[in-house]
Amino acid sequence: MPLPKVNYLYMGPELVLTAAALLLILVDLYFWRGRNRRLAVFGVLALLAAAAMTIPLFGVRGATLSKVMVVDPFALFFKLVILAAAAMVIVLSADYIAKHKLASVGEYYAILLFATIGMMFMAATTDLIMIYIGLELTSISCYILAGYHKTDPKSNEAVLKYFLLGLIASALMLYGFSFIYGFTGQTELSRIANALAGQKGQLAVAAGVLFSLAGFAFKVASVPFHQWVPDVYEGAPTPVTAFLSVGPKAAAFAALARILFIGFPTFASTWKILFIVMAIASMFIGNLLAIPQTNIKRMLAYSSIAHAGYILVGFAVASEAAMAGVLLYIAIYVLMNIGAFAIVLAVAHEPGSGDEVSNFSGLAKRAPFLAITMTVFMVALAGMPPTAGLWGKFYIFKAAVEKGLWWLALLGLLNSVISLYYYANVIRHMYFLEPSSEQPLVTPAAFKGIVWVTVLAVLIIGFIPQPLIWLSIISARGFG
């Protein structure tokens, strides 16, 4: 029996992370019993090592293990985004874990790395089976992380809701895959496309694609599969919420793009219409329901539904320029959203404080640095200059106009204006309302570090977006 050839260089980042995750569990058990900060540093170092092994692969277009593992700029772009998000979330987690005295620290970081591995595989495969396994690895790890705050009833509620609804979404997606496999007899996407060419009776495949789309819509938190988002985002530990709002979303968008553009370009006219409907519904429902929220995690949850809507505009346009915009958007969204969550964490870190918008009252007097940076993130999330948030929206909407979908771009712009209302509300609280105490807010160095990194990135990309745009265009080549 000829064993398959494995290119270990291509799989380096995933192998390093797997080894690191296993080591984390062991080291926590025998040597660094509950040494929260050491374990966090170890996790971050593993992620940095994985990133260092990913970067040199740029320029390679290849596959290993019979195309189950693909290496191309598209995959590498997503891997870097996911690795960066995971590293920042680990840095944010250390102080949260210390404050709330969460148990099983080593396992926390290990499971976070497992989720990261799942996402990286999702972004780097063209095989339905591998997409499914990567997705399940991500989802199961995320369920566990959402319930990590065991003494908090809200966290228990979050994990239960997330788990039950997530299972239905996964089952629906798998059911869709079974239709596709049943009709074509293939699991690899380009072979599926070949098998479909010139075939009759594609209704079965259309049903299969529809079901898998429903599953992905759940994972990216798009309307009409968004009901779980606010409860889970509110209940999960805040660093986990930050992770959920960027990581699984990015990976699911990557897998979705591969399925649609490689496997089912022949159905483009159908799924484009679906995406237009989903994009409009997500933008409006997300933004309008974000306005009355008083809990900032719930507000950011609805805002994340709206952001999924903006990204889906890119999928509805489905041109190479639009996909470049999507990649740009996702990278920038990761930076600004994690930055915003870092400040939410910093504000809630004080004893007696919480996740309410009212906790931000008078922040400008107590912590001017946090107030200014939060303003930057809110402006960026609304998509205003001079921040990076502008460029993601600009390139997606520009692609929409080029393809004649100017009205969709117009609806997107209208939604940016709506979103400004609730983002500006946070700024109003920070600058124009009186603080509850006059004491300056004490912020752990880790939170400040992440805020510095993300705010500098958001501003620098805002002024000099060319390198990132260039990278997105290269990575999106062939999609659309």
Partner 1 sequence: MSAVLFYILSAMLILFSLKVVTTKNLFHSVMAAFAVLLSTAGIFFLLNAEFLGIVEILVYAGAVTILVLFVVMLTTAGPQYRITWEGTPKMWTVIFAVLFGGMLGFVVLSIDWPTARPAALTDVTRTLAMRLFTEYLLPFEVASILLLAALVGAIVLARRD
Judged by the rule CB under 8 A, the positions of this chain that interact with partner 1 are: 1-4, 18, 25, 65-66, 68-69, 103-104, 107-108, 110-111, 114-115, 117-118, 121, 127, 129-130, 133-134, 136-137, 140-141, 143-144, 147-148, 150, 159, 179, 182-183, 185, 201, 203-204, 207
At residue 221, what are phi and psi to the nearest 5 degrees? 60, 55
Shortest distance in whole angstroms from residue 42 CB to partner 1: 17
Q: What is the DSSP letter of 195?
A: H
| Angle ∠(23,25,28) on CA atoms, nearest 5 | 100
- Residue placing its CB nearer to partner 1 in the complex, 72 or 127: 127
Closest approach of partner 1 to the CB of residue 465, in Å = 35
Q: In whole angstroms, what is the distance from residue 222 CA to residue 281 CA? A: 8
Q: How far is the CB of 218 from partner 1 (least distance, A)?
A: 16
CB 253 within 8 A of CB 282: no
Dihedral (CA of 78, 79, 80, 83) sign: positive
Smallest gap from residue 241 Cβ to partner 1 (A): 18
State the Cα–Cα distance between residues 369 and 208, nearest whole angstrom.
Answer: 50
Between residues 68 and 344, which has the closer beta carbon with respect to partner 1?
A: 68
Beta-ladder partners of 64: 69
* Residue 143 or 422 with smaller CB distance to partner 1: 143
Q: Least CB distance from residue 84 to partner 1, whole Å? A: 21
Q: How far is the CB of 425 from partner 1 (least distance, A)?
A: 32
Of the pair 259, 300, the CB lying nearest partner 1 is at 259
Using the minimum distance from each CB to partner 1, give the nearer residue, 104 or 190: 104
**At its nearest, how many Å lie between partner 1 and the CB of residue 162?**
13
User: Contacts for 65-69 with beta carbons within 8 Å, 24 or more apart?
Assistant: 65/4, 65/6, 66/4, 67/126, 67/127, 67/188, 67/190, 68/125, 68/127, 68/129, 68/130, 69/10, 69/11, 69/121, 69/124, 69/125, 69/130
Other Cβ atoms closer than 10 A to 245: 28
d(CA 449, CA 446): 5
203 vs 442, which CB is nearer to partner 1?
203
Identify which of residues 205 and 332 has a Cβ nearer to partner 1 in the complex: 205
